Amino acid sequence: MAAKFEDKRIDEALELLNEVAKEKSEELQDIVTEKYGNLKSVLGGLGEKSGRAAQDLFAKGGEEVKEIASKVNESVHKNPWPVIGGTALGFFILGILLSKPKK
């Protein structure tokens, strides 16, 4: 303590206030630590659950994409002319659109 007062009662009161403030500070710190720890465990659990769900969805989506690609591949191999004609028509239209002079 920086300054000593002449009246010892003031010193005693200030010391008592410092002790109470220190105790309340420790109590508050304990409460915050406890609540933060609970929050951290709850959020950690949510993160794990959502991460697993995202991985499951990604895996399921990947499987569906593979199945669709396999079906398209089979279809194109069985009858390639519609695909070749559609591709040629698409590039023909793209060429017309890109070749127009700009005003």
The answer as to whether 7 is a domain residue is: no
The answer as to whether 4 is a domain residue is: no
Band of the pLDDT at 45, cuts 50, 70, 90?
A: low
Question: How many Å apart are CA 15 and CA 18, to the nearest integer?
Answer: 5
The domain of 63 spans 12-98
**How many folded domains does the chain comprise?**
1
Percentage of the chain beyond pLDDT 90 is: 9
Q: Which two tokens stand for residue 86?
A: 């559609």
Rg (CA), the chain: 37
The answer as to whether 103 is a domain residue is: no
The answer as to whether 47 is a domain residue is: yes
Do the Cβ atoms of 11 and 5 come closer than 8 Å? yes
Band of the pLDDT at 40, cuts 50, 70, 90?
A: low
pTM (2 decimals)? 0.38
3-17: burial string, b at 16+ Cβ within 10 Å, e else: eeeeeeeeeeeeeee
The answer as to whether 58 is a domain residue is: yes
The answer as to whether 2 is a domain residue is: no
The answer as to whether 88 is a domain residue is: yes
The answer as to whether 6 is a domain residue is: no
- pLDDT of residue 80 exceeding 60, the answer is yes
